[in-house]
Amino acid sequence: MSGQGDLLGLDARIWQAIVAGGFVAAGWVYDGWRKRREAQRLREEKLRDAHRALFAEIATFLANLADETALDTYVDAMVARMEADPDFVPFIPKERHDRLFDSIQGEIHVLPRVTIDPVVRYYSQLSAIAALAEDMRGRGFARLSQDRRIVIYRDYFDMRKQAFEYGRIANWLIGVYAEGGKDAAEAAASSIGPAGRVLSTPAADRSAR
């Protein structure tokens, strides 16, 4: 009888260990799920914050640039002045439209592929514009013939118009992503042609959420 009692006692301890182990394992599973959920929440929050910041900065540039028609009118007037006065060199101001982008570059990886590509394309264009503008403020540009300066001046504004289009598309996709998520943004991105242009971007006028 004592042997049976020992066996029953052993079985009880085994079951207790199994039950305890089950609780521990369940705790691990729950804790892992909770941590993954918290990490996902933080990623989504960082994504929303990054989208909001970029949307605001790009929208400011777009507002300052007005539109392509206004740019063309301004350039034509300046070129007419350059043609009338061979010694006239247009003033090219220093501009910074990438301060927020610079501040969040370390977190840029949180953006989805569908928005990170147009955002990077837009800011790369701004970098190219800034480099050309720096050259145009130098003595080398002033020493060129007026005909050559006019060509470069028009190139400069063509690059700005392209930046306008890149920024418009980037903000459009950010807006679509904010409203409809990744699938909606990817569907919208598929309407962008090889030249990086799209006929209508209504969401670009809305605030990123």
Q: Is 16 part of a structural domain of the chain? A: no
Distance CA 95, CA 92 (A): 9
* Structural domain for 118, as ranges: 44-205
In a domain, 102, yes or no: yes
Answer yes or no: is pLDDT of 178 > 80.
yes
Would 79 be classed as within a structural domain?
yes
Q: How many domains does one find in the chain?
A: 1
Q: What are the tens digits of pLDDT across the range 21-66?
A: 666 666 666 566 566 676 667 787 888 889 999 999 999 999 887 6
For 131-172, the pLDDT digits (tens) are: 999 999 999 999 999 999 999 999 999 999 999 999 999 999
Segment 85-108, tens digit of pLDDT = 999 999 998 888 888 888 888 778
The one-letter amino acid at 142: A
